[in-house]
Amino acid sequence: MAPQTYIQTINSLTPLQRKIILFSKYKSLELDIKNYTALPSLLRQELNDHQFSLLSIELVRLFYSNDKQTVKALFRTYSGDLFESVLMRYEDGRNSACVSSMIGCPLNCSFCATGKMGFTANLDEFEISDQVIFWANFLKKEKEKITNVVYMGMGEPLLNLDNVLNSIKIITDKNYFGLGQKHITVSTAGIVKRIDQLTLSDFNGNLAISLHSPFQKIREEIMPIAKLNKLSDLMDSVYRFEESKKTRITLEYILINGINMNESDANKLADITKGHNFLVNLIPYNKVAGCDYKRPSNNQVFKFYRLLKSLKINVTLRLGMGYDNNSSCGQLTTINYDKFKKISTTES
């Protein structure tokens, strides 16, 4: 068996052998090929001799937050590229896997470290779904389970829509991982045509919009993609998704000092959300190297939160989860990890 990528190896097997591997991997979370006794012993030995990994991604390093609630993983693909993924553990028992869909990101949002990397490649369906399996296996050792998956890691999920949807099929298949679609959230910076494609797809999970301002001009300043996707068109596409899927929409809103926390912002948010099943999720800006934005004080944050509440807006506030290990919103990047890269020995 010549060196080959994960997908090439999987595709070289018989349909029955593939089914056995995928069932054991996704259903039983078994990641040691030697324990796949339903496979011929010769095949197991051959796969083991060629160092075939049941995961299409390789763990390089784990980073823990001080409170252990957030764990960040640095992964390497078969091609040698690096990316990050995050496990968020909540006090109410929820465990959310925050998965990446790209290596880097082409959107270059001004507050985001991932965007400063530029775009390297899309992750394939297994490289995405295997992040969930890694975290599920991680939790299995502590007798816990993944309860939610959020496509909010590195990259713009809707620009890699086919692989994202295929990965969702894998992790929601009742014969495999079996996670309910209502426990999955796909996030987007607001690409109108792709939201409409998602609306027409079989996806029946949740949608999160990186809004960050209710005004077109400000969105264009902090999110270049907004120049090609007008706010009015964006909200129309979101309303269509809401009506079609009958689900709540989350509007992610990073609080940047002096940029998007005025009374006019609050009033405009009230206009946008009125009559709709929306949740505004406030996230104080997380420091990113090379960015001059300032994080607001806690007093400013709570003042804006209370203002939204007074306007009858359904709002939540997320303070600091993963901030001390650079795994908070907008902080994922591999710029400083060149020493972990390696030249790939796989065939293309």
Q: Is 329 a catalytic residue?
A: yes
Rounded CA gap, 127 and 173, in Å? 17
Look up residue 31 and give its amino acid: L
The one catalytic residue among 84, 125, 127, 252: 84
Q: Is 105 a catalytic residue?
A: no
CB 128 within 8 A of CB 85: no
Rounded CA gap, 62 and 134, in Å? 12
β-sheet bridge partners, residue 103: 121
The one catalytic residue among 98, 127, 329, 347: 329
Query: Judging by DSSP bridges, how do beta strands 57-64 and 70-77 pair with one another?
Result: antiparallel
Rounded CA gap, 307 and 266, in Å? 7
Q: Which of 232, 225, 221 is nearest to 258 (CA)?
A: 221
Sign of CA dihedral 108, 114, 117, 119: negative
Could you give phi then psi for residue 123, rounded to 5 degrees? -85, 140
CB 82 within 8 A of CB 71: no
The residues annotated with a catalytic role in the active site are 84, 329
